[in-house]
Amino acid sequence: MLRYISNRLIGLIIVLIGVTVLTFIFSNISTVDPAEAFARRNILNPTPMQIEELREEMGLNLPVYRQYFHWMGESMKGNLGISLLTKNPVSADIAKKMPATLSIVGMAFFWIVVITLPISILSAVKQNGVFDHVARVITIFGISMPNFWLGFIMLIAFAVVVPIFNVVDYGNFKSIILPSLTLAIPVISSSIRLFRATILLNMNKDFVTYAKARGISKTNIIWKHILKNSLPPMITLMCQNLGYMIAGSAIVESVFSWPGIGSHLVEAIVGRDLPTINGCVLVIAVIFVLSNLFADVVNIMLNPKILNEQGEF
Amino acid sequence: MVKEILKNKQAVIGLIMMFIVAFIAVFAPFIAVNNPEEISPAQKFARFSGRYPLGADQLGRCIFSRLIYGARYSLGIAIPVLLILAVISTFLGTVSAYIGGRFDRIFSIFCDIFMAFPPLLVVLSLVGALGQGILNIMIAVIFSMWVWFARVIRSYVLMEKKKGYVTASKIVGCSDIQIITRHIIPNILPAFIVYFSTGVAGIILMISGFSFLGLGIEAGVPEWGAMLSSAKPYLYSRPLLLIYPGIFILFTAAGFNLFGEALRDIISPEGG
């Protein structure tokens, strides 16, 4: 157990270092000169002298590897630089925008768990029944649907035709429902397909035959044996979905004019605000890595036997 | 294999849908009734008519013709991206798994790092750095997706490598390149096709999502995602403007998904 955790932690540190290097590379392949961009935004008609001064001030005249270590050191202290657009510290902007995104992602997560589990269990138990077929058709549409379109359909249906919700709304519980559903439906569709397949796969395993031979009732086999063994891949998937949804919120937030991290990132891209882009990318990637780690830890706590199978990680 | 596909209803439906979209894309100039980019302010929001089968949009452009030309952008971007992805990831995945040892371990760590970014995030940050344009979107999508494809191929090759026929061909004296190209790759080809045909659907959705965000594709281009985005202000007055492009995206993506999933059932019936 200890060996596994220490290996996992070393792996995590390597990945996190890699993430910072990659984020840094992404921002450096840009053809935009950040010093010039900053100067043009803040000084009317900057002279080449002023641009050079700024370059030195921002540390951009140093060799690339020293820039990296400087950026990395500052990031560790929580200083992600100053946004070119808002002139606020990037970390402050992110902290301000994050709760809005987390609220729809959290709500979407709730929908995913509440809807995926019962539907996939029902479809798997009554494989090829009417319910299973209907669920298959609906989910295939769910994974083929662009989620921004889904968002508009919901707005047209529930805010224009039947005005239950407001088209632009923010700050109350009701306003979270449509964006979170929009974010959740494609994920629910793919999760149902995967979970159903996992359950079916486990139904043919030896331990099920053995349990049947021992005379255990069908309900008991499903709940105690099959589901318990089908959960680990689901937990991993759910935690990955968290990261996907935070990144994917960019599109949904644009549909619902939601003031979250996703629309903040898109604004930064359109405005070529490199410090903000870097900061957002780094924060989202770190959340993604940590949620993967969280999934592993939960899986091990639920079923320590997994360690024996994966012990050599 | 072909027989089995034709016997499977779902696969046939998927294939027909794929062919319809491909047909529309290839013969767009003959199907469209108007120039998709021609602006005629007098015809703003024109109703259904012989000249404008689905009416005209906010600039008086023919909606029907724009939708038809949209197929060209959707497939024209997704398919080259997929082909390049297939080549890169097959090469890297196969080589890494076949060589094995330390090389494979370093490659895996490298993959882990890339996989720490949700693909959408990589595209967003690359478009942020490279700037807009269709070519940059394509580069960004390839950059964000290759690792997921390479990972899958690597695991297939690892499984195949352990099988008897690889050892047998080694004993007979086949070179490594011969083993990879003549034996391993043909054996994992069906699994490839499944993975890539569902991959196309994902790429189509991703690209339409970016043009919806206004990233990558210039305004005015008849791309489905971009059309949706420019129709956003008319949510109340002309909701149909928003509905049409989505139906086309859904139809295209569903075709590839239906076909890919049916193919998966044919190749590996267990596991649903």
**Domain presence at residue A310:** no
Nearest Cα to A189, choosing from A152, A141, A242, A233?
A: A141
User: Other CB atoms closer than 10 Å to residue A53's CB: what's the count?
Assistant: 14
- Going by pLDDT thresholds of 50, 70 and 90, the confidence category of residue A105 is very high
A289 CB within 8 Å of a chain B CB: yes
Nearest Cα to B15, choosing from B268, B203, B257?
A: B257
Retrieve residue A58's tokens. 């921002």
Output the pLDDT for position A31: 64
Residue B131 lies in domain: 2-271
Strand, helix or coil for residue A298: helix
- Measured between its terminal Cα atoms, the distance across chain A in Å is 11
Comparing CB atoms, the residue among B117, B129, B205 nearest residue A285 is B117
Nearest Cα to B170, choosing from B158, B182, B153?
A: B182
Measured distance CA(B94)–CA(B87) in Å, rounded: 11
Stretch 53-112 of chain B: residues touching chain A, C-beta under 8 Å: 109-110, 112
Measured distance CA(B167)–CA(B170) in Å, rounded: 5
**Domain presence at residue A264:** no
pLDDT of B164 over the 60 cut: yes
Measured distance CA(B118)–CA(B122) in Å, rounded: 7
Measured distance CA(B143)–CA(B123) in Å, rounded: 8
**Domain presence at residue A78:** no
Q: Does B128 sit within 8 Å of A272, measured CB to CB?
A: yes
- Going by pLDDT thresholds of 50, 70 and 90, the confidence category of residue A311 is very low
Residue in chain B closest to A149 (alpha carbons) equals B246
Chain A closest-CA separation from residue B181 CA (Å): 30
Q: Does B242 sit within 8 Å of A149, measured CB to CB?
A: yes
Output the pLDDT for position B271: 42
Lowest mean pLDDT of A33-42, A258-267, B29-38, B255-264, name the range. A33-42
**pLDDT digit string (tens) for B115-154?**
877 888 888 878 877 777 888 888 888 988 888 889 888 8
Greatest mean pLDDT range, A2-11, A136-145, B53-62: A136-145
Higher pLDDT, A138 or A56: A138
Output the pLDDT for position A312: 41
Output the pLDDT for position A313: 38
**Domain presence at residue A186:** yes
In this structure, what CATH number is given to the domain that contains residue A182?
1.10.3720.10
Output the pLDDT for position A108: 93
DSSP string, B109-153: HHHHHHHTS-HHHHHHHHHHHH-SSHHHHHHHHHHHHHHHHHHHH
B233 CB within 8 Å of a chain A CB: no
Mean pLDDT of B181-201: 83
pLDDT of B216 over the 60 cut: yes
Measured distance CA(B195)–CA(A155) in Å, rounded: 33
A129 CB within 8 Å of a chain B CB: no
CA distance to A171, A278, B162, B184, per residue, from B167 (Å): 64, 48, 8, 12
Measured distance CA(B84)–CA(A285) in Å, rounded: 26
Mean pLDDT of B229-242: 82
Q: Does B235 sit within 8 Å of A152, measured CB to CB?
A: yes
Residue A220 lies in domain: 102-259
**pLDDT digit string (tens) for A266-308?**
888 877 777 888 888 888 888 888 888 888 888 777 777 666 5
* Chain B partners within 8 Å of A166 (Cβ): none
Residue in chain B closest to A30 (alpha carbons) equals B129
- Going by pLDDT thresholds of 50, 70 and 90, the confidence category of residue A83 is confident
Output the pLDDT for position B50: 67
B206: left (phi over 0), alpha (psi -120 to 50) or beta: alpha
B125 CB within 8 Å of a chain A CB: yes
User: Other CB atoms closer than 10 Å to residue A146's CB: what's the count?
Assistant: 25
Measured distance CA(B257)–CA(A141) in Å, rounded: 9
Strand, helix or coil for residue B251: helix
Beta strands in B27-106 (DSSP E): none
Chain B closest-CA separation from residue A11 CA (Å): 8
Helix B185-212 to helix A147-155 angle, to the nearest 10 degrees? 40
Measured distance CA(A118)–CA(B131) in Å, rounded: 44
Question: Would you give the DSSP letter of residue A58?
Answer: T
Mean pLDDT of B89-94: 90
Angle, alpha carbons A255-A260-A262 (nearest 5°): 70
**pLDDT digit string (tens) for B15-28?**
999 999 999 988 88
C-alpha of A168 from chain center? 24
In this structure, what CATH number is given to the domain that contains residue B127?
1.10.3720.10
Q: CA A255, A257, A261, A262: dihedral to nearest 10 degrees?
A: 20
Q: Does B120 sit within 8 Å of A246, measured CB to CB?
A: no
User: Other CB atoms closer than 10 Å to residue A144's CB: what's the count?
Assistant: 24
**Domain presence at residue A145:** yes
Count of the separate structural domains present in chain B: 1
Burial A188-207 (b: 16+ CB within 10 A, else e): bbebbbbbbbbbbbbbeeee
**Domain presence at residue A215:** yes
Phi then psi dihedrals of residue A82, to 5 deg: -110, 135
- Going by pLDDT thresholds of 50, 70 and 90, the confidence category of residue A21 is confident
Helix B134-161 to helix B63-99 angle, to the nearest 10 degrees? 40
Percent of chain A whose predicted confidence (pLDDT) is above 90: 12
Stretch 69-98 of chain A: residues touching chain B, C-beta under 8 Å: none
Rg (CA), chain B: 22
What pTM, to 2 d.p., does this model score?
0.84
Measured distance CA(B250)–CA(B252) in Å, rounded: 6
Measured distance CA(A153)–CA(A136) in Å, rounded: 21
pLDDT of A242 over the 60 cut: yes
Angle, alpha carbons B191-B193-B194 (nearest 5°): 65
Count of the separate structural domains present in chain A: 1
Phi then psi dihedrals of residue B60, to 5 deg: 75, 20
Output the pLDDT for position A307: 61
C-alpha of A106 from chain center? 11
Question: Would you give the DSSP letter of residue A222?
Answer: I
Mean pLDDT of B183-204: 83
Stretch 148-187 of chain A: residues touching chain B, C-beta under 8 Å: 148-150, 152-153, 155-156, 160, 167
